[in-house]
């Protein structure tokens, strides 16, 4: 019994070992059998190709001329010939050894060679046509199918690249799928995280109510808006507001850029629009956010080019999908753009984008609130006041202010500090506005003097011209492409008066006029000042109707939005406009020269202080020019006409 039990145990153990040594079917590569099959097929093919030529390698070969080949047939040495590829061959027994003679055919087919066929017929020579050689057949097959293989390979490669490198056969045909990013866990952004745009938030809070409590509005007979269009310059927080609406309402959030709809294939954009709205309907309540909708919602025109057909299809599909909403769908489309003037009217009509919410650049109080949001994770010195930062950053939007605080934190970290000072913030403002400072740059004394008087002219005209903004800082340290700059502290205004435009022109001319007055020479440093002054003068004359000669009339050219520029003024009127612009600029330049000439001592004082300190604050400038300066008022009649101006007026008359 013991022996039998031992034998049984040994047998079972051997069976277990034999089973464990067998490869698992689950772990075997699904491509293993296919690879083996392809290898065997390749070996068979190679053997077949080579076998046809194997015998020829075992015998001697001689290539002879066509004439010699014909003579051997005539002599009876050749009794059988074979046609193979582009040659004629024959086997002759010489010294008990087979020798293959061959010559090149004179014609494509042996039957077309009349001379050869006469000799063959006369000698009763046997003729045989052989199949093309294996190598020729192989290359013929390769060259026949290679273009198709390359095209298929290129298509698969492009498909993989466009799908982010993911595999799967479905990726090849996934062009029509929407590329939206759905936030599965609802966005954690709330309205309290968005600052400086209180009016826009109030308008969007109602949208949240639509999504959370739609019955409240439908019972009152109200129609829930299908779309909200956010208008505003880049960086004002349009995307953040859309996320806040989704976060407050608990809705699914689908985000896509307008440019992501279209691809190189026409019709892909429309397919992606359909797919996007299908996803939204399956996850309602939901918000579809389309950023930069102007790239897909541009006005359709009759004079379109061939490349616009796909965009029109995408827009048409978007219009159809928005019309197909049912009230119980609880889907709202939020779109953002800074170019609402180019959008198609069909997109903006009631029933599609019912609401337009303008997201303006924040005022001073708004900038303070935005700075508070972005300053939560930063430490500041005691001398830093967010109100002071808000004062010197007019026109900054939320993205600009966040970048400002980030740059100041980087400047502090460079000096191994964790606390941000007012100096860091001031430097960050200059860096963002004008570029990196070039303190190590060596400037010649005469250039430094020119820069000092140029900036002093700007500063003096800023302080003594009625309607101009006060000086915040003046510097002659090169920054970016500028040799120096004067930074004003602009007052935020809803409207701009004629005196404000004239005051700005005089301030712009302050640098060039100071150079001419003190140095008896002028430089190219006033290029941008003159360009800006000319633009303001043209606006004054042609757009806002402030010129006394033309009166309240708009004289600018119009555009029908089809890239067709339509002039609405005659050549004579255009000439008169040029004369009025020249007249205005000349008058204000002469006025600026007179003011600086009357306040030469103040100009010298500011320039000398700049040469000494290189950077001067607005308070220091005001301390120098007080208590009294001359020529500070912007008069309607400006200055007395010079001889040059009389010539211009004579030309005009």
Give the three-class secondary structure for 304.
coil
- Cβ atoms of 287 and 247 within 8 Å: the answer is no
Verify whether residue 248 is a known catalytic residue.
Answer: no
Outline where DSSP puts E strands in 294-429. 331-337, 353-358, 379-380, 419-420
- Among the options 321, 455, 580, 588, which is catalytic? 455
> Pick from 370, 369, 378: which is nearest to 408 by CA?
378
The DSSP annotation for 400-424 comes to: HHHHHHHHHHHHHHHTT-SEE-HHH
Question: Where would I find the H helices in 375-494?
Answer: 386-391, 398-414, 422-434, 445-464
CA-based max dimension of the chain: 138
Angstrom distances, CA of residue 89 to CA of 7, 96, 232, 305, 639: 73, 19, 85, 64, 109
- The CA distance from 194 to 196, in Å, is 7
Q: Give φ, ψ of 231 to 5 degrees.
A: -110, 135
Q: Which of 251, 260, 245 is nearest to 357 (CA)?
A: 245
The helix, strand and coil proportions of the chain, stated in percent and rounded to the nearest 5, come to 55, 15, 30
Q: Pairing relation of β-strands 471-475 and 615-617?
A: antiparallel
Residue 118 token pair: 């006469």
Report which DSSP code applies to 298. Answer: B
The answer to whether 326 and 320 are in contact (CB under 8 A) is: no
CA distances from 9 to 49, 80, 117, 549 (A): 56, 76, 85, 119
Is the peptide bond preceding residue 554 cis, with omega within 30 degrees of 0?
A: no
Mind telling me the catalytic residues? 455
């Amino acid at each position: 019994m013991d022996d039998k039990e031992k034998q049984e145990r040994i047998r079972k153990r051997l069976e277990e070992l034999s089973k464990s040594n067998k490869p698992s079917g689950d772990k075997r590569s699904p491509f293993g059998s296919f690879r083996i099959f392809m290898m065997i097929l390749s070996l068979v093919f190679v053997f077949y190709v080579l076998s046809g030529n194997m015998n020829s390698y075992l015998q001697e070969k001689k290539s002879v001329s066509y004439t010699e080949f014909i003579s051997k047939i005539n002599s009876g040495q050749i009794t059988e010939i074979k046609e193979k590829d582009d040659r004629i061959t024959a086997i002759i027994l010489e010294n008990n050894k087979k020798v293959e003679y061959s010559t090149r055919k004179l014609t494509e087919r042996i039957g077309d060679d009349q001379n050869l066929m006469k000799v063959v017929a006369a000698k009763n020579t046997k003729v045989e046509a052989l199949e093309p050689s294996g190598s020729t057949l192989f290359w013929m097959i390769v060259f026949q199918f290679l273009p198709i293989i390359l095209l298929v390979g290129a298509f698969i490669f492009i498909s993989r690249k466009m799908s982010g490198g993911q595999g799967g056969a479905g990726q090849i045909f996934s062009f029509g799928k929407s590329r939206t990013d759905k936030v599965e866990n609802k966005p954690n952004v709330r309205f309290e995280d968005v600052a400086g745009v209180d009016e826009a938030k109030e308008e969007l809070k109602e949208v949240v109510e639509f999504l959370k409590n739609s019955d409240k509005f439908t019972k009152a007979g109200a129609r829930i808006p299908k779309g909200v269009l956010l208008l505003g310059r880049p960086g004002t927080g349009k995307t953040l507001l859309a996320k806040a609406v989704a976060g407050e309402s608990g809705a699914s959030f689908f985000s896509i850029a307008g440019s992501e709809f279209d691809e190189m294939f026409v019709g892909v954009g429309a397919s992606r629009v359909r797919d996007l709205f299908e996803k939204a309907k399956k996850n309602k309540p939901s918000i579809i956010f389309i950023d930069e909708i102007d790239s897909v919602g541009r006005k359709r025109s009759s004079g379109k080019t061939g490349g616009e057909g796909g965009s029109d299809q995408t827009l048409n599909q978007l219009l159809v999908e928005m019309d197909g909403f049912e009230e119980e769908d609880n889907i709202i489309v939020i779109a953002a753009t800074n170019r609402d003037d180019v959008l198609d009217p069909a997109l903006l009509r009631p029933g599609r984008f019912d609401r337009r919410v303008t997201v303006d650049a924040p005022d001073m109080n708004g900038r303070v609130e935005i700075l508070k949001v972005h300053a939560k994770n930063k430490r500041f010195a005691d001398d830093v006041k967010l109100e002071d930062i808000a004062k010197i950053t007019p026109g900054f939007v939320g993205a600009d202010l966040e970048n400002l605080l980030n740059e100041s934190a980087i400047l502090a970290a460079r000096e191994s500090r964790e606390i941000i000072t007012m100096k860091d913030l001031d430097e960050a403002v200059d860096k963002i506005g004008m570029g990196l400072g070039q303190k190590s740059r060596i400037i010649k004394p005469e250039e430094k003097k020119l820069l000092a008087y140029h900036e002093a002219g700007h500063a003096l005209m800023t302080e003594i011209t009625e309607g101009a903004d006060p000086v915040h800082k003046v510097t002659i340290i090169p920054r970016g492409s500028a040799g120096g700059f004067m930074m004003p502290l602009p007052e935020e205004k809803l409207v701009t008066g004629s005196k404000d435009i004239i005051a700005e022109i005089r301030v712009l001319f302050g640098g060039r006029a100071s150079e001419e007055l003190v140095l008896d020479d002028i430089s190219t440093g006033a290029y941008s000042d003159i360009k800006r002054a000319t633009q303001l003068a043209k606006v004054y004359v042609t757009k806002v109707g402030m010129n006394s000669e033309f009166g309240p009339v708009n004289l600018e050219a119009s555009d029908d939005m089809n890239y067709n520029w339509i002039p609405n003024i005659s050549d004579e009127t255009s000439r008169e406009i040029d004369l009025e612009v020249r007249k205005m600029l000349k008058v204000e330049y002469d006025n600026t020269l007179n003011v600086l000439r009357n306040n030469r001592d103040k100009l010298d004082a500011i320039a000398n202080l700049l040469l000494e300190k290189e950077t001067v604050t607005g308070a220091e400038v005001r301390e120098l020019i007080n208590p009294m300066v001359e020529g500070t008022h912007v008069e309607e009649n400006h200055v007395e006409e010079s001889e040059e101006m009389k010539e211009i007026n004579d030309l005009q008359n």
